[in-house]
Structure 1
Amino acid sequence: MAANPILDQQIIDDPHMKPLEWHKARQNYIGASEVGAILGLNPWKSRLEVYLEKVADEPVIIGMNERMRWGLIHEAVIASEFCRRTGLKVQQWSKGYTSKEFPFLRASADRLIIGSEKGTGILEIKTANGFYAKSWEHEVPLMYYAQLMLQMYCSCHDWGAITVLIDGNELHTHWYSRDEDFLAAAVPQLVDFWKNHVEKRIPPEPQNGEDVQKLYAASLPGKFV
């Protein structure tokens, strides 16, 4: 059984942070949304990219694109529909939690689920287009599963859900219990990434040709690749 997150976890997010301060702060820890890339589960981002962001002299700030903006706009609507369909209630989770054992592992989530006989759970909200609909049909993509598991690990929750709106008109919700076997395998890899790569400033092995280019560019500043 997970411990009480209020008693056992340290609140770490400051809602009054400016964007630059927030991005600088993120260089000091691994967030739940970065776990998939570090574990090799994110098809769009590699562990080397995460490493380069952590050790950069200035934080890498990625602007919000249209997809991200509309995902944020739809978040409240999706949460409301989740409540209507499930009969549960949610509340915003504006604060983050850090692992007591490994303070460089931190997490926040879109909502907390309340009103369940199982106690409080975590709700992660996603949007997707129809091209990726099949990847959500029976289970969630592994990088999002990994994200939810680290959220549970850091906040000491035992269960949660990922709900996704596909093409703006099809809602799927997937329910999960805390996966101790997954965490037992994943957490040591995250610890190794932080202690043996980020802290020591030793880049992980490139995973593809694009990684090689980025590593070369990072090691020879001023060079154009």
Structure 2
Amino acid sequence: MSLDLQYEPEVVVDITGLSNEDWLEYRKSGIGGSDAGIILGVSAYKLTRDVYFEKIGRTPDMPEDENWVTLEVGKRLEDLVAEIFAKKTGFRVWKEKRMLRHPLYPYMIADIDYMYETSSGEIGILECKTGSHYVKDKWDSGAVPYTYEVQCRHYMAVRNVFASYAACLHGNTENDFIYQKIERDLDFEENLIEQEGMFWYDYVEKQQEPPLTGDGDLMLRSLKRYQAERNQQEELLFDDKYGDVLEKIIEIKSEKSALDKTGRELEGKIKTMYAQFAAMLGSGTKGKCVADGCEYLITYKPSYRTLIPKEAMERMKLNDKEMFDKYASVSESRTFQVKKVLK
């Protein structure tokens, strides 16, 4: 594929004043920047299966309890991230208030945060992120977390610009700010366009569900969100070709059980050794030992949490059902077990 770079992006819609419901509807019309990393299989949050269901408009059977505060903080701090970036670089920064579409690959859309312009006239994309101090390591040595890099490369392809910056505020001071430049890579872009096109035409347009592949935890989360409709009492008969897989599950579970047993034994030995220090500390919480030129710092601090015992919950349910129903929540979990029966 040889990329034609003589194009201007098409405007899907002006998002100024657009309701969240309408914005979500427009997002169904193509693949956005935050979808790109999922389609390439580098997301730690979703599978292509989840994106597929979102694009065809299927509502989750069991929506996850998303941390709305974290999401809202990230959204509200975008302006601050852009302001800090402008102050540190001297670039002119402005909000891109349009959802855009690639005119040559119409399945690619972009909902860009900000644009920037340098004193020399270079125009590019600014992607604003927030996080805690724990994310700093992911940005060290000039790196950008890969999902964000893919997101920026998707945007550069749609907007037809040759540079972007990813900026992240990971604390509450100006020093807790990182930004990295990403140059356009046309070889990468060709592959990205191809992968997104395959996803769109092979799955979304054909209404064909993608295969369930990826990280095990993500697969189970996806299955929980979008459950297959079956009679819960029906016993499903699997083809005998799955026997090897089930045998492997039993084998690995046995190995894990042995390792868990070893871990419990080692944990018991550790507790036996540190019990003597707990005895010497009594109600104290700190200690120190200097030996052979080394200093060992010991802490034994209590931690507290408030909980309602199961028996008390049962009493509340019987004696004050209105209060119980007001604050109790029900979550579903399923345990997968394999039992081998010799015939």
Find the residue that maps to 1:157 and give its secondary structure: coil
Identity of aligned residues (%): 24
| Stretches of structure 2 lacking an aligned partner (at least 5 in a row) | 233-331, 335-343
Find the residue that maps to 1:200 and give its secondary structure: coil
Aligned-residue Cα RMSD (Å) equals: 2.6
> Hey, what does 1:151 align to over in structure 2?
155
Return the alpha-carbon distance in structure 2 between the equivalents of residues 159 and 3 of structure 1: 16
In the TM superposition, what whole-angstrom CA distance separates every residue of 1:99-158 from its partner, at most 9, and x where no partner exists?
111111101211110233252111011011122221111211111001101101001111
Q: Which of 180, 189, 198 matches 1:183?
A: 189
> Hey, what does 1:211 align to over in structure 2?
219
What TM-score, normalized by structure 1, do the two folds share? 0.87
Return the alpha-carbon distance in structure 2 between the equivalents of residues 56 and 120 of structure 1: 35
Return the alpha-carbon distance in structure 2 between the equivalents of residues 105 and 187 of structure 1: 8
Q: How many pairs does the alignment contain?
A: 222
In the TM superposition, what whole-angstrom CA distance separates every residue of 1:149-179 from its partner, at most 9, and x where no partner exists?
1101001111110111112331111011111
| Stretches of structure 1 lacking an aligned partner (at least 5 in a row) | none
Once the 2 structures are TM-superposed, how far is the Cα of residue 14 of structure 1 from its aligned partner?
3.1
Return the alpha-carbon distance in structure 1 between the equivalents of residues 185 and 67 of structure 2: 32
> Hey, what does 1:141 align to over in structure 2?
145
Structure 1 contact 38–193 (Cα < 8 Å) conserved: yes
Give the structure, 1 or 2, with the largest relative contact order (CA under 8 Å, sep 6 or more): 1
Find the residue that maps to 2:14 and give its secondary structure: coil
Return the alpha-carbon distance in structure 2 between the equivalents of residues 152 and 92 of structure 1: 16
- Aligned 1:19-34 pairs, distance under 5 A: 19-34=20-35
Q: Which of 115, 125, 129 matches 1:112?
A: 115
Find the residue that maps to 1:52 and give its secondary structure: helix
Structure 2 contact 129–166 (Cα < 8 Å) conserved: yes
What TM-score, normalized by structure 2, do the two folds share? 0.59
> Hey, what does 1:192 align to over in structure 2?
198
In the TM superposition, what whole-angstrom CA distance separates every residue of 1:48-107 from its partner, at most 9, and x where no partner exists?
111121123459998771112112222222211111111111011111221111111101
Find the residue that maps to 1:220 and give its secondary structure: coil
Structure 2 contact 102–109 (Cα < 8 Å) conserved: yes
Structure 1 contact 165–172 (Cα < 8 Å) conserved: yes
Structure-2 change in CA distance of 1:71 and 1:202 (3 Å): same
Once the 2 structures are TM-superposed, how far is the Cα of residue 3 of structure 1 from its aligned partner?
4.0
Return the alpha-carbon distance in structure 1 between the equivalents of residues 220 and 207 of structure 2: 16
Q: Which of 78, 81, 84 matches 1:78?
A: 81
Structure-2 change in CA distance of 1:135 and 1:68 (3 Å): same
Structure 1 contact 158–177 (Cα < 8 Å) conserved: yes
Structure 1 contact 20–59 (Cα < 8 Å) conserved: no
Higher-Rg structure is: 2
Structure 1 contact 38–46 (Cα < 8 Å) conserved: yes
> Hey, what does 1:167 align to over in structure 2?
171
Return the alpha-carbon distance in structure 1 between the equivalents of residues 178 and 73 of structure 2: 18
- Aligned 1:5-84 pairs, distance under 5 A: 8-15=8-15, 16-58=17-59, 65-84=68-87
Return the alpha-carbon distance in structure 2 between the equivalents of residues 179 and 118 of structure 1: 20
Structure-2 change in CA distance of 1:204 and 1:129 (3 Å): same
Return the alpha-carbon distance in structure 2 between the equivalents of residues 104 and 9 of structure 1: 12
Structure 1's consecutive aligned runs of 4 or more residues displaced over 6 angstroms after TM superposition are 59-64, 221-225
Letter of the 2:13 counterpart: D
